[in-house]
Structure 1
């Protein structure tokens, strides 16, 4: 098997924690005489005026850091870099607290509404971009995913060569995770219990689905406390399917407060509406460090407003 060679180092630095776009021209050549012709075909979603503007302004560069102009010839296999046009983003007005930092790991306490990694219309206003910029760690990468609407613990890897070791902890279910949630209380739902189901999440579809198939997800759900018609729940997932806890709680007839997707997909709120966060918190993570052998346990310092301060909710 031929091993793919590593991409060369970008001559452009990150901007606000966001990498420049990297393109490699086809090694076999093609019908393009100039770089401009190739980019016009390769980037159909980018307006022609934008492509021309980048080239005229000298904002497309090659491996040597020199600008590439509109009339420069197409060179098979050449590497190009340029900065993407960032979407307009409403700042998420909550702090991202660093709980732990060493030579291998950064563990943060993420607020609600802040995406973990750049995706779609959330690019700069993400935990990864903020951390790369504020900690001056351009190679930082996520060890796992945490939904944008979920608050609490998220883990990042400092060095690219260590990423696989930490990602394997989550893949091999070696991280013991605890979540807290606030939802309605129903005495007819017997707890604690283990919920298993087969979850499928299609790309481009907001809601995941549970199918009649062998289970691929498992959650242990218990009640910590009851207050009137509300319950404070402890959730321990042993798998990490997308929206798993939200689906399992909704399936019990106990949808998590503030959930805009389960059991019914609601109209998306305005980008600057931060009033009703999903009442789900990644509260604790425990594992043995695969590189140092040290035991780690991290705990979130955040609380769920519907439980700690119901009047504000």
Structure 2
């Protein structure tokens, strides 16, 4: 059990206690804040409160946070589409619908479960038991290329390339609307949505620098086939940025229209190309994989004007 003591500042007056805690304590979600409040682990001025209590300036908040349960992540015999592999790393083509690493509600069937079976103990340990070997992530319903590190040395070098923007990541997507320009740059900070904590949004409050380069590959009437190149790697970056400029990705259940006429199982977004300097040989390697069949089927339907 870890404890924290907080004194409510004037600018935080009249904020609900669950939101206040999730804003002030790193990695504490609002839902988990509600849980520990309901468990009696949060006191204000030495008294237990309910989750709808609104904090007041100079309130003394005492929080007890239970130690996380130790999880046993099991290796599973799940087929992997391995594009490249050597002693230091793998490049994997992740299918749409596969979660990258275990989390609440998804402790099995993930890419990590499959990697543990394939690689055994040969995965970097930098990101802990939940994310062995995972250098970067893509969303569950985004398909395409991911880098996996087999050792800590490779992980550190690859992560540095992501940080200094020398690792190349290019995606293709099909979006709503005809973009005004053939190419452009979206430079807008991304942070947690102020109301819906499960979403990200363009925001200057607690937002982090986020830059996406896009170009139109093909105009399809009321839709566009585009390529996006990431300069930064924020959560849901392409999905948030394209929605922000009025061109959400087709099939996106979070940032797109509530009614999806295309009946997709997720956003039409594919991590097509990845390029990086090999951590041992210092050779530049680049890999490319075509989008999955559903993506091409949608493209062809739009080309034939069967969907207007």
- TM-score of the two chains, using structure 2 as the length reference: 0.63
Deviations 1:107-128 (A, max 9, x none): 1000111111111111221111
Alignment-derived partner of residue 133 in structure 1 = 117
Alignment-derived partner of residue 158 in structure 2 = 166
**Cα distance between partner residues in 2 of 1:266 and 1:206:** 20
Aligned 8 A contact 2:175 2:224 in 1: yes
Specify every segment of 5 or more residues in structure 2 that has no aligned partner in the other structure, as ranges: 1-38, 40-68, 124-131
Matching residue within 261, 273, 288 for 1:299? 288
Q: SS where residue 153 of structure 1 aligns? A: strand
Q: SS where residue 130 of structure 1 aligns? A: helix
Kindly indicate whether residue 216 of structure 2 is the aligned counterpart of residue 223 of structure 1: yes
Aligned 8 A contact 1:104 1:157 in 2: yes
Deviations 1:60-110 (A, max 9, x none): xxxxxxxxxxxxxxxxxxxxx986599xxxx9xx95310011000011000
Q: SS where residue 141 of structure 1 aligns? A: coil
Alignment-derived partner of residue 28 in structure 1 = none
Q: Name which of structure 1's ranges 221-230 and 191-200 shifts more when overlaid on structure 2.
A: 221-230
Kindly indicate whether residue 230 of structure 2 is the aligned counterpart of residue 237 of structure 1: yes
Distance 1:198 1:83, change over 3 A: closer
- Computed over aligned residues only, the root mean square deviation of the Cα atoms, in angstroms, reads 3.3
Kindly indicate whether residue 111 of structure 2 is the aligned counterpart of residue 120 of structure 1: no
Alignment-derived partner of residue 77 in structure 1 = none
Aligned 8 A contact 2:166 2:276 in 1: yes
Aligned 8 A contact 1:109 1:301 in 2: no
Aligned 8 A contact 1:112 1:278 in 2: no
For the pair shown, the structure with the greater C-alpha radius of gyration is: 1
Q: SS where residue 189 of structure 2 aligns? A: strand
Specify every segment of 5 or more residues in structure 1 that has no aligned partner in the other structure, as ranges: 1-43, 45-80, 268-273
How big is the shift at 1:300? 1.7
How big is the shift at 1:255? 0.4
